Homo-oligomer: A and B are copies of this chain.
């Protein structure tokens, strides 16, 4: 009997690594805690020990001990204890990330034989050809592109200042592992770690006011400047090295493995403070960022390319430029003097350094471009595109690319390949990937906002009310208008401020550089007229080249008749002509199921999505139109061990075709791009996931799988709705058993909590709905209804069919793995604690009923995946690892849940009892505590007990969220 086998699977050192870092950071944190709050530190010690005991033994005796102990903490201690566990959890999470990267590095260095599953490094795949000829892989690589679109996420929980500090600690831990240091350097590094942990601990972790869209945009930008722009060329280079190693050439210069997009500052759906001005700002800011990066790259190249030999074409260009420099002599030197503070080379460059002559000229134009963009920022009524045109700045990326490419071919022609393929190649690839816009902005708005504008027009022209027309009349009218050229906007029309804002947005878009925009997304699209309306408005507001319009089908109904909508669109000759002329026959379409998940349950939503994708792709193919599907990765519960990988495999085959466009939400941006190694890893993850999806696409679904899938989603939907919408007492139960009511107090994200204030579930946005159940460790929206559907199928004796579907159908497997993973994170014991403390006894029957359903669902899932326990099958390596992660975090999360329940109790009693309750007597006198309770600038007169409980609640909510997130 060997030393038990899991040690070998998660190779000894990664596990060891995880454990060492974990205990190092925990020790550092405790020293900080003990230094500032000695007696709290002791309590945290005890709580941690009790929590660990319970997590190991799972028996009620230990749980009560834990509850009792937490129960008699004083309010100010609740804050500090909650805060301690939240910090420890975050520190623990980053040791997981470090362990991941370290394991991978070790794998890359060949120090460890990694269990084959976890990293599908494109290189290893590249280099050992499991059955695919090298040439084939090369072609696939040269025809695939991954578009990563950054969006701000609503539950952006932790303040940037904390995330930055943790990122630093992560960097220091990496140094600890990879750099050889003298004892003194090590001491200084440990001090640096301690300084960051202390600073994090002493920072108010609750965000006191709402971030603005520009806040979010700047954060997004900082990732490009700090990691992405460097790591993309590094990644390309690594691909080349691996290709060279098996005798294949470098990737062609003009191929893009990645494109970057963003919603930050473009997404105005239910977000009134994203205005036309905001959009313009973010476009200019992004271009500024790009120009800055190229400015530095050109300066570096000016040092490198001091070579005097070059190709005749380059010599000719250099001579032309030098002549121009000399011709404009007197004015130029004076004008040159004005732009004085180049780091180097501000005397005219000698002609026998052709590269520098050209680069020096490029530097001037970049400088010029930067000035113009500044001006655009300073005065908003300048038209960006016009300003760039008038001042001979860079507007078209080709003008930047060509001279660089000319230098590249020149170096190749004079036999200077090494120099050519060094910094110059990196710069060429940056220009290729990021262009002058850095990333392309998507505009997102809700369909009704456009209909109201058109309605204002038709009523003004006495054509009746557009909103009252049936769908056919709308489309035919719109198509009529679109086919004709008659101006539509009567001067002096009366518009409401909302309608005016829509029009201003279109006008602003009309004068932005086109390469800064990608497509216009219409959320809540129901019919074809929603799309045509936008095209009409774009044209009427003077946009010369119109954006691609991407409908977003969100509700189940809209999804069901999405194919019809697409059919209507592509059915009209005008529209088809329009997209083949303006968008070379590509129609983009976005499908997100966050809303459909809310009103039909996960299974029905996922299936509806799956079918919809197939159908609209089919519809598009009939019309010879290429349809690109845009995936919003909704909610934070992706799955461990490469959500991207599995998410991509579970798309219907033939919908990827080498082109993946996917969103990345706020928090995961930090995780996936916050640090260089992690960024490298992410680029690798996506490349290989798409590569694999192309090389051996998943097999198509069999008819009887689909049949059964229809039945499953119908039943699950019925059961889901019977609870969520038809059980009269469900809503009340929901509001009592979860902190959904108190979520409003978190100023989370820049957008208001609910769309147009209908009470009840319908009015609730998908995010808080899912988030509330995550807090109570129940994740109801994910599994509710699935159990019944599966049970029904099993009774019909279709278990073997279900098992076949799990084994062979990536879609079904992805779905069940998600449910399995979510259930592994769930803990009904904790959920029942919420009921016991917060829900009226007569409503607790519903709770017990739901938990019974949870158990039944779990049993069904286990039967299908043929396991006795969740997460235990070794074939996909990520599961035991995930299981390990959940277990390592559990002792940190449990106290946070217990504290949350107690805090909710206190808050609700306090709201009820008001100032006459027993707690009203809580009037702390020491300055230290009063300060602690008065950190909220808007607290104005909140009772100290209330203030303490609010803060404590906020912290536990963030903590639990951190405990539930996926790393990697």
Contact = CB atoms under 8 A, between A and B. Distances in A.
A796 interface: no
B161 A937 contact: no
A374 interface: yes
B241 A351 contact: no
Given A164-B303, A188-B237, A416 B308 contact: no
B199 A306 contact: yes
A416 to B, nearest CB: 6
Interface string A237-278: 110011001000000000000000000000000000000000
Interface in A30-78: 32, 35-36
A422 B192 contact: yes
B238 A184 contact: yes
A182 B107 CA distance: 9
A421 B212 contact: no
B308 A203 contact: yes
Contact of A419 (B188, B198, B338): B198
A203 B161 contact: no
A166 to B, nearest CB: 12
Given A208-B350, A352-B208, A422 B195 contact: yes
B194 A418 contact: yes
Interface string A598-629: 00000000000000000000000000000000
Interface in A322-352: 337-338, 340-341, 343-344, 346-347, 350-352
A109 B353 CA distance: 45
B307 A199 contact: yes
Interface string A168-196: 00000000001111111001100110111
A184 B108 contact: yes
A204 B308 contact: yes
Given A307-B202, A416-B198, A422-B195, A109 B182 contact: yes
A232 to B, nearest CB: 15
Given A195-B419, A306-B161, A180 B181 contact: no
A159 interface: yes
A288 B182 contact: no
Interface residue tally on A, bucketed by range: 35 or more
A415 B180 CA distance: 32
Given A188-B237, A343-B222, A183 B109 contact: yes
Contacts of A203: 306-308
A866 interface: no
B164 A218 contact: no
A181 B241 CA distance: 14
Nearest to A208: B350
Contact of A288 (B288, B341, B347): B341
A110 B338 CA distance: 54
A238 to B, nearest CB: 6
B109 A180 contact: yes
Contact of A350 (B187, B237, B352, B937): B937
A198 B418 contact: yes
Contacts of A347: 212, 215
Contact of A209 (B159, B195, B241, B350): B350
A390 interface: no
Contacts of A222: 343-344
Given A164-B303, A182-B108, A935 B285 contact: no
Contacts of A192: 422
B350 A188 contact: no
Contact of A179 (B178, B346, B374): B178
A795 interface: no
A241 to B, nearest CB: 5
A377 interface: yes
B378 A109 contact: no
A41 to B, nearest CB: 14
A309 interface: yes
Contacts of A931: 309
Contacts of A305: 199
A165 interface: yes
Nearest to A162: B306
Contacts of A351: 937
Interface string A866-877: 000000000000
Given A202-B416, A341-B377, A422-B192, A123 B184 contact: yes
A105 interface: yes
A304 interface: yes
Interface string A464-478: 000000000000000
A285 B242 CA distance: 46
Interface in A767-817: none
B178 A303 contact: no
A337 B378 contact: yes
B202 A309 contact: yes
Interface of A is mostly: helix
B306 A191 contact: no
A82 B159 CA distance: 61
A307 B202 CA distance: 5
Interface in A536-579: none
B344 A418 contact: no
B377 A421 contact: no
B285 A352 contact: no
Contacts of A212: 347
A109 B181 contact: yes
Contacts of A418: 32, 191, 194-195, 198-199
A285 B344 CA distance: 12
A388 to B, nearest CB: 17
A180 B111 CA distance: 11
Contacts of A202: 307-309, 414, 416, 419
A199 to B, nearest CB: 5
B105 A218 contact: no
B108 A422 contact: no
B191 A421 contact: yes
A349 B306 CA distance: 47
Contact of A415 (B35, B110, B341): B35
A162 B36 CA distance: 54
Contacts of A374: 340-341
Contact of A199 (B32, B304, B346): B304
A285 B341 contact: yes
Given A203-B307, A306-B203, A374-B341, A188 B109 contact: no
Nearest to A193: B418
Contacts of A184: 108, 123, 238, 241-242, 245
A352 B194 contact: no
A212 B415 CA distance: 33
Contacts of A288: 341
A307 B203 CA distance: 4
Most buried by B among A108, A123, A222, A422: A422
A846 to B, nearest CB: 42
A164 B288 CA distance: 28
A269 B831 CA distance: 85
B344 A218 contact: yes
A188 B422 CA distance: 10
Given A182-B109, A195-B422, A937 B352 contact: yes
Which of A215, A307, A935 has the most B CB atoms < 10 Å from its CB? A307
Interface string A273-295: 00000000000010010000000
A178 B178 CA distance: 9
Interface in A2-37: 32, 35-36
Interface string A299-328: 000011111110000000000000000000
Given A352-B935, A378-B338, A937-B350, A188 B343 contact: no
14 contacts: A109-B180, A109-B183, A160-B303, A191-B422, A196-B304, A196-B422, A203-B307, A204-B306, A204-B308, A212-B347, A337-B378, A340-B377, A341-B374, A352-B937
Shortest 3 CB-CB contacts between residues of A and residues of B: A195-B422, A161-B306, A108-B182
Given A32-B418, A198-B419, A199-B307, 4 more contacts: A203-B306, A215-B347, A337-B378, A341-B374
